[in-house]
Structure 1
Amino acid sequence: MTGLPPFSIQLKALRQERRLSQLDLAIAAEVSQRHLSFLESGRSKPGRGVAARLATALDLAPELANAFMADAGFAPLFPALRIDDPELAPLKSAAAHVLRGHMPYPAVVIDSVGDILDANPAFEVAIALFGDPSSLWTRTHGGRPKNLYRLTLHPAGTAGALVNFEEVARAVLQRIAREAQAGPRQQALIDDIVSWKTIDPAWVRPAGGWSPPPRPIVAERYKIGREILGVFAVTTRLGAAMNAVAGGIRIESYFPADDKTQRVMERLDR
């Protein structure tokens, strides 16, 4: 149906994604089923209280809840703070402490869409293994914010040296797809990456909508000169889900996947 308000389209889509009937959602949000039906058909507009209860009943992540409220014409439910806001100073300090403690191995702080907020010196050294860092960022990002997923998968980025590219690309894309429920920025990133010629859209959502779960550890194996070096990442989430930024902040800590890579990393640190 065309001409529906964005809120009505989003409400129905989110309800169906969660496999809720109108009655189920109406009960959870403490509204009548008839009113919910009118909201989905565009015949009624929600009040702020109703929109907020629907967002809660749908169990929306902060960023998506804010977008949901915006579609309804209301202010955000959650504060969208930046990592450098004074309120998040303790979180920023804790993240910096973790980055320092992970030396000589790379570690990076990213937000919910993979944009890089901070990194330790070992991460910068690792990037330099693939050529001049400034040129690398320019080729893969242009004027966009630095993004870990874009750096990994872009054909002009580190992907050119990635021996098991398809395996890593599948894992990364399916991770972003799972997190796409957190907000529109994640979906926009997926759409951008899938437009690259080196990416098969089926890696995101295979035909039939089902794919086997990723392996517990997916090592990234890169050919650097004559050597093949492997690393894998461990993700640590920081902050409470009450905050649209803090709830999405995580640290990607990279570890050597084999003894040879460990020796190379430790030698680079020296």
Structure 2
Amino acid sequence: METERNISSGTFPTFLRNWRTRKNMSQLDLALTAGISQRHVSFLENGRSNPSRDSIASLGMALEMPAAEIDAMMGVAGYTALRTQTAADDKNLEAIKQSIDHVLRGHNPYPAMSIDRIWTIQNANEAALKFFAGLGGTGDLNMLRNIINPGPVREKIVNWSECARALLRLFELEVARRPNDREAQQLLAGFLMQDDVADIMKSPAKGLPSPLITLQFQINNQIVSLFSLIATIGLSHDARLDDIRIETLLPADDSSRNWFDNQS
């Protein structure tokens, strides 16, 4: 449930100042929201004071930072991550994993999977494994690479340009939420370096956008259309849980629904 992450290095004053600037907050605004003095915020940003773990946690929540970014800020200040992994934590994580598995199994005969912050599949139900194997997946567990990069999965997506643009716009927003996550930044940059991807991202959309973007796969002589619902774990201050997404794929029309019913 946890993947390796490469976090940019830096100093705590710079880290805090950059995040406050990103949120368009003054030092006074941040101080009032975090429940500390403006003078202390100023001293933290110019390096005259050293932060405590509690003040970092308060500042991170006041800035609405993702849990991974709060952990990164703890790291540049010389502290361990906000969460402390204990036997109780492991037990709770296992219980959550079992609940996620239950949701995935309950979504059969339609595909469902749990993915991390860079869209790498962590677990999948039987329908998803069967569906992606049928598309000719290469074994790469990253959904974005399978869809964006040339290969057997991309070749079967009828409306690839529309889907690629929408997915990368969504991923750009995710990367923006984690400005110190080098792994995610490098993945996005790699996609944008491809000429065909750069072209569709630069070209204006034709006409009004569809109210719902579906993934349309050409499978043999049929178009199988799917839309996705993405769920997250609410109210988590643990980066391992904050990263998890549960993506469920659903048929967008009766013919696609019948196609899945016939596969089970």
Of 56, 59, 62, the match for 1:57: 62
Q: What's the offset of the Cα at 1:154? A: 2.0
Of 229, 244, 265, the match for 2:239: 244
Q: What's the offset of the Cα at 1:85? A: 4.0
Q: Identify if the C-alpha distance between structure 1 residues 266 and 256 changes in structure 2 by more than 3 Å, giving closer, same or farther.
A: same
Contact 1:221 1:231 in 2 (8 A): yes
Q: What's the offset of the Cα at 1:10? A: 2.2
- 1:165 maps to amino acid: W
Render the CA deviation track for 1:84-125: whole Å, top value 9, x for unaligned. Answer: 943222212222222221111111111233221111111111
Deviates more, 1:26-35 or 1:95-104: 26-35
Q: When the two structures are superposed, what TM-score results if normalisation uses the length of structure 1?
A: 0.78
Q: What's the offset of the Cα at 1:23? A: 2.2
Which SS does the other structure have where 1:245 is aligned?
A: helix
Partner Cα distance (2:259, 2:200) in 1: 35
1:159 counterpart residue number: 154
Which SS does the other structure have where 1:23 is aligned?
A: helix
- 2:243 maps to amino acid: G
Contact 1:91 1:239 in 2 (8 A): no
Partner Cα distance (1:43, 1:76) in 2: 23
Deviates more, 1:159-168 or 1:29-38: 29-38
Contact 1:109 1:251 in 2 (8 A): yes
Q: When the two structures are superposed, what TM-score results if normalisation uses the length of structure 2?
A: 0.80
1:174 aligned to 2:175?
Answer: no
2:250 counterpart residue number: 255
Q: What's the offset of the Cα at 1:230? A: 0.9
Q: Percent identity?
A: 33
1:96 aligned to 2:93?
Answer: no
Deviates more, 1:193-202 or 1:99-108: 193-202
Structure 2: give runs of 5+ residues left out of the alignment: 1-8
Render the CA deviation track for 1:154-191: whole Å, top value 9, x for unaligned. Answer: 22252222222222122222222222314614434323
- 2:51 maps to amino acid: P
Contact 2:74 2:81 in 1 (8 A): yes
1:227 counterpart residue number: 222
2:125 counterpart residue number: 120
Partner Cα distance (2:200, 2:58) in 1: 35
Structure 1: give runs of 5+ residues left out of the alignment: 208-212
- 1:108 maps to amino acid: M
1:210 counterpart residue number: none
Partner Cα distance (1:157, 1:21) in 2: 50
Of 107, 116, 124, the match for 1:111: 116
Partner Cα distance (1:201, 1:42) in 2: 44
Q: How many residues align?
A: 248
Q: What's the offset of the Cα at 1:224? A: 2.4
Please report the RMSD computed on the Cα atoms of aligned residues, expressed in angstroms.
3.1
Deviates more, 1:89-98 or 1:41-50: 41-50
Q: Identify if the C-alpha distance between structure 1 residues 69 and 36 changes in structure 2 by more than 3 Å, giving closer, same or farther.
A: same
- 1:46 maps to amino acid: P
2:91 counterpart residue number: 86
Which SS does the other structure have where 1:198 is aligned?
A: helix
- 2:93 maps to amino acid: L
Partner Cα distance (1:215, 1:189) in 2: 27
